[in-house]
Structure 1
Amino acid sequence: MRLDGVSYRYGRAGRWILREVSVDLPPGATIVVLGRNGAGKSTLLQLAAGVLKPSRGVVSERPRPVGWVPERFPADQPFTVDGYLTSMARLHGVGDPAAAVDTWVERLGLTPYRGTRLAELSKGTAQKVGLAQALAPDPKLLVLDEPWEGLDAAARDLVPGIVAEIVERGGIVLVSDHRGETGRLPGAITWTVAEGTVAQGAAADEEGTAIIEIAVAAGAAAQTAAALREAGHDVVGVRAAAPKATV
């Protein structure tokens, strides 16, 4: 798959969000998209998924089917979880929709919510539904916009394994990340979006990764973590220091 000279702006008079982006997405690759908020990460993912059409340039050789998970799943729909997932599986042409839905409902812990209407779900549970609908057709291209956002710890821990399964079958996974979860995806290629351009980084080598712990004032923790992520580093975690013992 390739984006060739892709540019995008919202409306004829809008500012250019992306300019002349030319990148390859090879089969069996995991690509993590980094960048500050508003840099154009979500726009890039939507162009790759086919949700948006380029203002200029071409997206070619997009594999099918495509699984697309937006940052916030649109849960304001008049369906139950089971009805929605079954309908989406049928739209994707899944041979056995019921079996595909059963598989992902069980894996993502959605069984208690099968009869619940989407609008009544919590944000985290709705995100699981969004993930399930994208995975049901066994996508050859899976595009995840902040996939860990809103998920509980158990579901977050499932995402790397799901990504690995798709990649092992020769699929492509494109992920945006601002939580610093990139370290969960060893071997991922990084793209950094800034000022309308996309800079490509080398694939991360799991054995060559070093974890460095730093200590900063508590009030500067969030700002420091954000700066490190924007610079392309993975923030594995932020924790408060244990209180000093008094004598």
Structure 2
Amino acid sequence: MRLENVSVRYHRRGPWVLRQADAEVGPGEVAVVLGRNGAGKSTLLQVTAGVLRPTRGRVVDRPRHVGWVPERFPADQPFTVAYYLTAMARVAGLSAAEADRAVDEWTSRLGIAGFRRVRLADLSKGTAQKVGLAQAMLRPPGLLVLDEPWEGLDAAARDLVPLVVDEVLAAGGRVLVSDHRNETVRLPGARRWTVAEGTVTETGPDEPEDVAVVEVAVPAARVAGTVARLRAAGHQVLRVRAAGRARDGATPGVGPRPPAADDTALPDEVAR
């Protein structure tokens, strides 16, 4: 999928928000859209998703099925969560049975099954954002566009976003995502589209860095705060486990001994 000479302005004589933007993202690739507030990131995402028509230029080879999650889900609608999601699934081309299964799956995965009979207007911002993410995934998208997808989500839902991205990429889809929370460090190998002064500069994925895995032992009561601080600093938390009392020669307060060479292997994913 390519953006070719895309330019956007909202009024005939208004300033250009985007000027002759050219960028590309291929099957199985994710692109992170970077830039200061007001630079035009959301405009670029809307054009890519097909929500906004460019003033000039075009988007080529946009996949047929697009999942679009705006920064703020439009929750001021007179529908319940279940009715809205079911209707969106049918609009996406799913049969009644397929729609029911998809709604069941995504309300369960996102932890909003208990809100199925609640009206959208009565939801908190975080819950409404989960509904927005659910509707984008009801039919597996060839292109998933996420504008600040982590905003307002709880920790469990924030952890789910990279998994959703991985699912789309594994199926050969494309993903575009913007973020100001530094959560995109969880998307290694992403391309970068930087928006500044109306122009878009595209760079390929960073070269992989040498990494190391560090085990840290903390009191159980401080686990949540420690995990939050590590993630905020750009580190990746592989897992949290109960270490129990010091044993096997471990020094109290330091943690258990490192695994031997024949112990269970670490996951492929490593801390950054």
- Give the TM-score category using the shorter length: 0.7 to 0.9
Shift of residue 202, structure 1, vs aligned partner: 2.0
Post-superposition CA distance 1:82-134 (Å, at most 9, x none): 00000000001023100111110110001110000000000000000000000
Distance in 2 of aligned mates of 1:168 and 1:140: 11
- Residue matched to 1:80: 80
Answer yes or no: is the 8 Å Cα contact 2:23–2:193 preserved in 1.
Answer: no
Q: How many residues align?
A: 214
Q: How does 1:173-184 map to 2 (within 5 A)?
A: 173-184=175-186
Match of 2:67 in 1: 67
Q: Determine what percentage of the aligned residue pairs are the same residue.
A: 64
Aligned to 1:159: 161
Alpha-carbon distance in structure 1 between the residues aligned to 2:175 and 2:116: 27
Distance 1:32 1:209 in 2: 22
Q: 2:6 is matched by which residue type in structure 1?
A: V
Aligned-partner Cα distance in 2 for 1:195–1:105: 40
Partner of 1:217: none
Aligned-partner SS, 2:195: strand
Tell me, in whole angstroms, the C-alpha distance in 1 between the residues paired with 2:197 and 2:109. Answer: 39
Equivalent residue, structure 2, for 1:236? 234
Equivalent-residue separation in structure 1 for 2:179 and 2:99 (angstroms): 30
Structure 1 moving runs of 4+ over 3 Å: 205-210
Given candidates 119, 122, 126, the residue that maps to 1:120 is 122
**Aligned pair in 2 of structure 1 residues 235, 145: CA closer, same or farther (>3 Å)?**
farther
Matched residue type, 1:2: R
Q: CA deviation at 1:187?
A: 1.1
2:15 is the alignment partner of 1:15: yes
Please report the RMSD computed on the Cα atoms of aligned residues, expressed in angstroms.
1.5
Q: Measure the CA separation in 2 of the matches of 1:4 and 1:15.
A: 20
Which blocks of at least 5 consecutive residues in structure 2 are unaligned?
Answer: 213-231, 236-272
The answer for the alignment partner of 2:30 in structure 1 is 30
Deviation at 1:201, TM superposition (A): 1.8
Q: Could you tell me how far apart the structure 1 residues matched to 2:211 and 2:43 are? A: 29
Deviation at 1:70, TM superposition (A): 0.2
Q: Post-superposition shift, 1:205?
A: 3.9
Residue of structure 2 in register with 1:186 after alignment: 188
Residue aligning to 1:46: 46
* Deviation string, structure 1 residues 166-218 (Cα, Å, up to 9, x no partner): 101110000011111111111111111001111112213444479xxxxxxxx
CA deviations 1:155-174 (Å, max 9, x no partner) are: 00000011011101110000
2:80–2:119 CA contact under 8 A, matched in 1: yes
Q: Structure with the greater relative contact order (CA < 8 A, sep ≥ 6): 1 or 2? A: 1
Per-residue CA distance 1:47-104 (angstroms, 9 max, x = gap): 0000000100011110021000000000000000000000000001023100111110
Aligned letter for 1:35?
G
**Structure label with greater radius of gyration:** 2
Please give the TM-score of this superposition, normalised by the length of structure 1.
Answer: 0.84
Question: What is the distance in 1 between the residues matched to 2:75 and 2:38?
Answer: 23
Asked if the contact 1:186–1:205 (Cα under 8 Å) also holds between the matched residues in 2, the reply is: no
Segments of 5+ residues of structure 1 without an aligned counterpart are 211-233, 238-247
Determine helix, strand or coil for the equivalent of 1:16. coil
Q: Distance in 1 between the 2:209 and 2:108 partners?
A: 33
